[in-house]
Structure 1
Amino acid sequence: MLAGRSGSELSHDQFYASDPKTLVLSCLGAMGNGKSSLLNAICDEQIYRTGRGAEPITRHVEAVMRPWSNPPVSRYCQLIDTPGMCDSSARDRANMQECVRYFKSLSFGVSAFLLVFNINDTRLDAYTQNMLSLFEQLLGREFWKYVILVFTHVDEHNRDLLEDNIDVLTDPSEGFVPELRRVFRLDERTFDPPMVFLTTQRLRYNAYAQRHLQQLYNSVVQLEKDRGNKKFTCGWFNQILSTPTEDQKSNFIISSVRGALGSIRSAFTGGGSWCAMQ
């Protein structure tokens, strides 16, 4: 074990996550959008379980340290997959513990938040809006500068059929990014995230897939460069790191998340069920 910032000990993975050279990537998005498949593709290993259907495959926050293998580069990554954690999280102990595990894994800094959508369902629904509202409440608006939009299932055989979808999503005045700016009152001068359209199918023999993963890596590196080679951090993360014991860290995160959820619920005026994070 290695000494941490507040005198606590760090695990091997935490030590490398705190290394400025390590990329820390957090995947966010609804169930079935392809988060686990994307992370498997990056490290060229079947680390995370994947599948199809209505039941969630990823049930726990999972963070692994691996080299970025597609494309092969000499950078290690902490790859963080997330399960569904909905409006019961404020009351459900198991879901709240997933929040604790997740935010502890981020507290050394984040290179990029990969916001993942299935190209066949790109609605900015109430669920996704509230997930992003939770992050903004906890992390501050600066976190938006570290967002990369990733649209999956853009497979080579149906790329031509999806061109209209892609044109709509990338429209500079009516597309997906302008909609995010409108909903969250973001300034176009400071919020202009990369948009990557990719497939995770047949990676080893598919130059098309490899080109898009190269584009994703280039987007992460460019974002890193634009931010002065600094990972995202915030006052809340610093408070987590400076809290002496693991139990105290957990209690602080739980209290903060519950407070943020309460604030968002009070402001929520949309219809349907309320979801905090998935």
Structure 2
Amino acid sequence: MTYSNAVLNEANRDAHLQDPRTHVVSAVGAVGTGKSSLLNAMAGERIFRTGEAYATTLEIESQVRPWKYAPTTKYVHMIDTPGLCDTSARDRQNVQEMVRYFKSLAFGVSAFLLVFDIKDIRLDAYTQDMLNLFQQLLGKDFWNFVVIIFTHVDEEVRDELDDAIEAVLDPTDGFVAELTRIFKLSPKTFVPNLIFTTTQNVRMSSYGQRQIRELYNSVVRCEARNDHRRFNCTWLRQILAHQTEDEKDDFIVGSIMGAWSSMATNVCRLQ
């Protein structure tokens, strides 16, 4: 992929952001899992910066593009994230990025894309803190809009990853079962879609394009659970109820602080 200079003009971008037919997806997860590369694959072009360096994405970024390789003419609003609640960045800048992030969700979310590297599928302390914070602020209903994505499942190594994939899918000790136990979810209602995907040369790969279509279908199913509407909640609506940007910022910061103080393991906090 080459880095794209093509952007929607401001009027068109705003129109697509406000259009209820535009899907809104938020890629979240630890640094280095492939969030930016995944969104680039969805867009069919390199609009989010990627690289081998640690923490390439340093701030919230969003772009609106047509969803490439999907059976639709709809647009998708893609929100890329740095290490939200990252223990290596427990400072005011990190909190301000979280403020920007939650403001970007205020009009609803089609799906939260929870991204992991298939070679490292541990639910580490960072990820647990992040998900605890989301549950505190957004409520347990947000889990109905989670799509779990394992990246680096490249075509040439797919067979070598069979054991890892089987471990993820194990109904008793697999990844979903572990999430269910940790966050005290109902196994009857928490049945997220799991996507195993590559982000490698998707433009030339029918294998990769098929996986992007599977991801699109998973996002559509998330909205279908809510009468084809995006996820929203009381707390997100409260953000919009505040008149000024400063009031919104103060409300979000106060909510984050309150959520952290009530979390059993308060690893993520301001220094």
Question: What's the TM-score, normalizing by structure 1?
Answer: 0.88
Q: Per the alignment, in what secondary structure is the counterpart of residue 261 of structure 1?
A: helix
The aligned residue for residue 173 of structure 2 is: 174
Contact 2:150–2:195 (CA<8 Å) still a contact in 1? Answer: yes
Match of 2:265 among 256, 268, 276: 268
What is the CA–CA distance in structure 2 between the aligned matches of 1:94 and 1:171, rounded to whole Å?
39
Aligned-residue offset at 1:71? 2.7
The answer for the alignment partner of 1:140 in structure 2 is 139
For structure 1, which segment, 92-101 or 241-250, has the greater mean C-alpha deviation from structure 2 after superposition?
Answer: 92-101
Distance change (3 Å), C-alpha of 1:221 and 1:262:
same
Letter matched to residue 226 of structure 1: R
Query: Which residue does the alignment assign to 2:5?
Result: none
Residues 88 and 95 of structure 1 are in contact (CA less than 8 Å); yes or no, is this contact kept in structure 2? no
- Cα deviation 1:220-253 (Å, max 9, x = unaligned): 1122223210111000111101111111111111
**SS class of match (1:114):** strand
The alpha-carbon distance between structure 1 residues 47 and 116, as it changes in their structure 2 partners (threshold 3 A), is same
- Who is 2:4 aligned against? none
SS in 1 for 2:158: helix
**Which piece of structure 1 moves more, 143-152 or 226-235?**
226-235
Distance 1:182 1:113, change over 3 A: same
- Structure 1 window deviating more from structure 2 (108-117 vs 247-256): it is 247-256
Q: Are the aligned partners of 1:111 and 1:146 in contact in 2 as well (CA < 8 Å)?
A: yes
Q: Which residues in structure 2 correspond to 1:157-196 (within 5 Å)?
A: 157-196=156-195
Counterparts of residues 64-213 of structure 1 (less than 5 Å): 64-71=63-70, 73-85=72-84, 86-87=86-87, 92-213=91-212
Give the letter aligned to residue 82 of structure 1: T
SS at match of 1:256: helix
| Aligned counterparts of 1:199 and 1:88: Cα–Cα separation in 2 | 28
Q: Distance in 2 between matches of 1:133 and 1:69?
A: 32
Aligned-partner Cα distance in 2 for 1:160–1:49: 29
Q: Counterparts of 1:96 and 1:124 in 2: how far apart (Å)?
A: 22
Describe the SS at the equivalent of 2:30: coil
Deviation beyond 4 Å, 4+ runs, structure 1: 10-15, 87-90
**Aligned partner of 1:150: which letter?**
I
Cα distance, 1:72 vs structure 2: 5.7
Equivalent in the alignment of 2:38: 38
Gaps of 5+ in 1: 1-9
The alignment partner of 2:24 has SS state of: strand
Deviates more, 1:142-151 or 1:66-75: 66-75
Q: Where does residue 224 of structure 2 map in the other structure? A: 225
Does the C-alpha gap of structure 1 residues 238 and 21 become closer, same or farther in structure 2, counting only changes over 3 Å? Answer: same
Q: For the Cα contact (< 8 Å) 1:41–1:70, is it kept in 2?
A: no
**Alignment CA distance shift 1:208-1:40 (3 Å):** same
User: Which residue is 1:245 aligned to?
Assistant: 244
Which position in structure 2 is the counterpart of 1:48?
A: 48
1:204 CA displacement: 1.7
CA deviation after TM superposition for structure 1 residue 18, in Å:
3.4
Deviation at 1:192, TM superposition (A): 0.4
Aligned to 1:6: none
Q: In structure 2, what is the equivalent of residue 4 of structure 1?
A: none
Q: RMSD in angstroms over aligned alpha carbons?
A: 1.8
Instruction: Give the CA deviation at 1:17.
Output: 2.8
SS at match of 1:79: strand
Residues 239 and 248 of structure 2 are in contact (CA less than 8 Å); yes or no, is this contact kept in structure 1?
yes
SS in 2 for 1:241: helix
Query: Does the 8 Å contact 1:170/1:177 carry over to 2?
Result: yes
Looking at structure 2, the residues matched to 191 and 105 of structure 1 have their Cα atoms a distance apart, in angstroms, of 25
User: Which structure's relative contact order is higher, taking Cα pairs within 8 Å and 6+ residues apart?
Assistant: 1
**TM-score under structure 2 length normalisation:** 0.91
Give unpaired runs (5+ residues) of structure 2: 1-9
AA aligned opposite 2:250: N
